[in-house]
């Protein structure tokens, strides 16, 4: 691969800084270089600086002229449900008619309807649909996603989903961080205790033996897995060497944030209902909160997580899409930035830090991605705007100009 230089970015958003997730006022420090440029060799960033300085060192490198546009690291989406079959259009319409979650589930919708379709789908069918999703992410400027299983709920179907992720990783340029979410819901054919036993004694050992996941997640919520059941799943995963994430305090404040702190989890996700005690517990245990405003929006709710209090408490906040067919059908990080600024009162710069470098640390890849610094992978996006704040400001219109993964162009507006 020939070396590449990117020149004349109106703002080169480097996010250079300490080698750890950013907190407090660091969240609004983007390390901007005006009329910036960079040199890329072997898929990695070699040099970053003012354009004229980079130009002197271009040598035989191919030149990409950013033409006065914003250049920044590819988004890292730290919470997605990438692999599933079908959609939930009927649920969507029912919600528009005013039906409740319970009514929709009774009528055959909800998570279970996606489980039925995903079980029936072959590995190849799932892979084809996942490729389509992967392409959507790239087109929105996302170059890495964390992806969860959880629509299989049998040993074989959970493994099938994780294998699809492994195959997708080989076939698509999108980088994938796999998470086992057998504890997404209780399989209907089993009692809660029977299913819990299958997750702990059958699924987790297989996932670990086949090295199919880096993280284990659980849906800790009334009607799904309570605190004790969630603790059992997470403890078993931890013993097998998996790192931990959790869907907690989304619909009710059940003390999920405290559980994630107690377990030494990497992240606690959702947190719409988390109070001061929960925030303090996360801070004490250095757990990163992953906030998912897209799901609050898509469910028609108005109870967004308390991002400002979390930032003020010193938490290393992360933003993600929660891409899934039921409650957050969006792969768009720019849409999430818009919601973060308008609904959660985060600053545009804070939202960008939360969806790049902080997100990278939350998937244990902070040393490789999330900022444009020498030594890191050349995963970057050119956006068709001059000021980074435009990303969160204009909404409903794609601003992606082109996307690079390891120095290679993988998506361009108007096609490759
Ligand atoms: Zn989720």
How many angstroms is it from 246 CA to the middle of ligand 1? 9
Q: Compute the distance from residue 6 Cα to the ligand 1 centre, in Å.
A: 36
In the predicted structure, residue 416 carries a pLDDT above the cut 80: no
Ligand 1 center to 269 CA (angstroms): 8
pLDDT, position 355: 98
Model confidence at 100, pLDDT cuts 50, 70, 90, reads: confident
Ligand 1 midpoint to CA 178 (Å): 13
Helix (H, G, I), strand (E, B) or coil at 228: helix
* 9-26 mean pLDDT: 98
Strands (DSSP E) contained in 14-166 are: 32-41, 44-50, 62-73, 75-80, 142-148
**CA within 13 Å, CB half, 392:** 23
Distance 395 CA to ligand 1 centre (A): 23
CA–centroid distance, residue 362 to ligand 1 (Å): 15
CA of 353 to the centre of ligand 1 (A): 21
The CA 97 to ligand 1 mean position distance, Å, reads 24
CA distance 391 to 385: 8
Taking residues 96-104, what's their average pLDDT? 88
Q: Cα(295) to centroid of ligand 1, in Å?
A: 9
The larger pLDDT score, comparing residue 166 to residue 413, is at 166
Q: How far apart are CA 147 and CA 360, in angstroms?
A: 14
Residue 80 and residue 234: Cα distance in Å, rounded? Answer: 19
142: which strand partners?
Answer: 75
Tell how far the Cα of 344 is from the centroid of ligand 1, in angstroms.
Answer: 19
| pLDDT confidence of residue 282 | 98
Average pLDDT rounded to a whole number, residues 20-44: 98
287 Cβ contact list (under 8 Å, min separation 6): 257, 260, 261, 264, 265, 266, 267, 268, 281
The dihedral formed by the CA atoms of 372, 377, 383 and 387, expressed in degrees to the nearest 10: -10
**Cα→Cα distances 258→29, 358, 380, Å:** 30, 21, 36
| Cα–Cα distance for residue pair 257/220, rounded to 1 Å | 10
* Mean pLDDT computed over every residue of the chain: 97
Per-residue pLDDT at 377 exceeds 80: yes
Check: CB of residue 381 under 8 Å from CB of residue 405: no
Neighbours of 303 (CB within 10 A): 11
pLDDT score at 108:
86
Q: What is the C-alpha to C-alpha distance for residues 15 and 369, in angstroms, rounded to an integer?
A: 11
For residue 65, how far is its CA from the centre of ligand 1 (angstroms)?
38
> In angstroms, rounded to a whole number, what is the distance separating the alpha carbons of residues 353 and 351?
6
Least confident piece of the model among 47-51, 67-71, 95-99, 137-141: 95-99
138-190 per-position pLDDT tens digit: 999 999 999 999 999 999 999 999 999 999 999 999 999 999 999 999 999 99
The token pair at 228 is 């004790």
Provide the pLDDT for residue 106: 84
Tokens of 364: 């244990």
Calculate how far, in angstroms, residue 196's C-alpha sits from the geometric centre of ligand 1. 19
Q: Kindly list the distances between the CA atom of residue 247 and the CA atoms of 6, 80, 184, 261, 265, in Å, as whole numbers in the listed order.
A: 39, 12, 9, 13, 11
Whether 198 has a pLDDT exceeding 90, the answer reads: yes
**Residue 300 falls in which region: left (phi positive, over 0), alpha (psi -120 to 50) or beta:** left
* Cβ–Cβ < 8 Å for 29, 17: yes
Mean of pLDDT values over 313-325: 98
Cα–ligand 1 centroid distance for 247 (angstroms)? 6
The structure tokens listed for 29 are 């420090």
CA distances from 217 to 57, 84, 148, 326 (A): 46, 17, 8, 18
- From the CA of 152, how far away is ligand 1's center (Å)? 15
- Residue 223, pLDDT score: 87
Mean pLDDT, rounded, for 336-347: 98
CA 67 to centroid of ligand 1, rounded, Å:
38
- The span from the first CA to the last CA of the chain, in angstroms, equals 18
- Overall pTM surpassing 0.95 (yes/no): yes
Mean pLDDT over 127-136 rounds to: 98
Residue 414: its pLDDT value, please?
Answer: 76
- 345 C-alpha vs ligand 1 centroid, how far in Å? 22
Q: How far is the CA of 115 from the centre of ligand 1 (A)?
A: 15
Least confident among 88-102, 209-223, 338-352: 88-102
- At 386-399, the pLDDT tens digits run 999 999 999 999 99
Q: What are phi and psi for residue 256, nearest 5 degrees?
A: -65, -40
Residue 212 has a CB neighbour count (10 Å cut-off) of 19
Query: In this structure, are residues 233 and 196 in contact, taking their beta carbons and an 8 Å threshold?
Result: yes
Predicted local distance difference test score (pLDDT) of residue 147: 98
Mean pLDDT of 250-256: 93
Beta carbons of 317 and 354 less than 8 angstroms apart: yes
Q: Are 379 and 145 in contact (CB under 8 A)?
A: no
Q: What count of residues does the chain have? A: 416
Neighbours of ion ligand 1 (CB under 5 A): 322
Distance 328 CA to ligand 1 centre (A): 8
- pLDDT average, residue stretch 268-282: 97
CA 376 to centroid of ligand 1, rounded, Å: 28
Gap from CA of 95 to ligand 1 centroid (Å):
19
Centroid of ligand 1 to alpha carbon of 413 (angstroms): 29
- From ligand 1's centre to the CA of 43, what distance in Å? 31
Cα–Cα distance measured from residue 295 to residue 18, given in angstroms and rounded to the nearest whole number: 31
Angle at 337 between CA 334 and CA 343, to 5 degrees: 135
* 189: phi then psi, degrees, rounded to nearest 5: -80, -5
Average pLDDT over residues 48-66: 95
Per-residue buried b or exposed e for 65-93, using 16+ beta carbons within 10 Å of the residue's own CB: ebeebbbbbbbbbbbbbbbbbeebeebee
| Whether the predicted pLDDT of 101 surpasses 80 | no
Residue 9 CA to residue 239 CA, distance in Å, equals 47
- Residue 81 Cα to ligand 1 midpoint, Å, equals 6
Q: How far apart are CA 399 and CA 99, in angstroms?
A: 35
């Amino acid at each position: 691969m020939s070396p590449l230089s990117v020149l004349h970015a109106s703002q080169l958003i480097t996010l250079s800084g300490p080698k750890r997730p950013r907190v407090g006022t660091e969240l609004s420090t983007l390390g901007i270089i005006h009329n910036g440029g960079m040199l890329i060799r072997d898929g990695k960033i070699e040099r970053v600086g003012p354009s004229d300085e980079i130009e002197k060192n271009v040598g035989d490198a191919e030149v990409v002229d950013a033409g006065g546009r914003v250049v920044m690291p590819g988004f890292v989406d730290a919470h997605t449900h990438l692999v599933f079959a079908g959609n939930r259009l009927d649920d969507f319409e029912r919600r528009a008619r005013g039906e409740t979650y319970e009514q929709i589930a009774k009528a055959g919708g909800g998570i279970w309807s996606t489980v039925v379709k995903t079980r029936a789908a072959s590995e190849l069918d799932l892979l084809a649909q996942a490729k389509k999703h992967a392409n959507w992410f790239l087109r929105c400027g996302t170059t890495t996603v964390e992806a969860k299983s959880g629509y299989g709920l049998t040993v074989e179907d959970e493994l099938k989903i994780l294998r699809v992720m492994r195959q997708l990783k080989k076939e698509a340029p999108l980088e994938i961080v796999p998470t086992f979410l057998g504890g997404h819901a209780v399989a209907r054919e089993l009692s809660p205790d029977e299913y819990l036993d299958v997750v702990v004694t059958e699924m987790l050992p297989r996932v670990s033996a086949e090295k199919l996941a880096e993280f284990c997640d659980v849906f800790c919520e009334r009607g799904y897995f309570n605190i004790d059941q969630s603790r059992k799943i997470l403890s078993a995963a931890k013993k097998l060497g998996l790192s931990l994430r959790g869907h907690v305090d989304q619909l009710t404040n059940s003390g999920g944030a405290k559980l994630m702190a107690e377990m030494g989890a990497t992240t606690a996700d959702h947190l719409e209902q988390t109070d001061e005690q929960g925030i303090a517990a996360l801070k004490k245990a250095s757990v990163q909160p992953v906030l998912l405003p897209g799901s609050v929006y898509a469910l028609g709710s108005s109870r967004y997580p308390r991002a400002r209090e979390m930032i003020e408490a010193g938490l290393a906040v992360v933003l993600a899409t929660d891409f899934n067919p039921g409650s957050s059908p969006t792969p768009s990080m720019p849409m999430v930035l818009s919601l973060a600024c308008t609904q959660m009162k985060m600053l545009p710069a804070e939202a960008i830090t939360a969806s790049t470098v902080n997100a990278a640390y939350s998937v244990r890849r902070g040393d490789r991605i999330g900022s444009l610094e020498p030594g890191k992978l050349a995963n970057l996006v050119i956006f068709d705007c001059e000021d980074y704040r435009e990303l969160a400001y204009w909404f409903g219109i794609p601003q992606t100009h082109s996307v690079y993964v390891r120095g290679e162009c993988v998506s361009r507006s108007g096609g490759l």
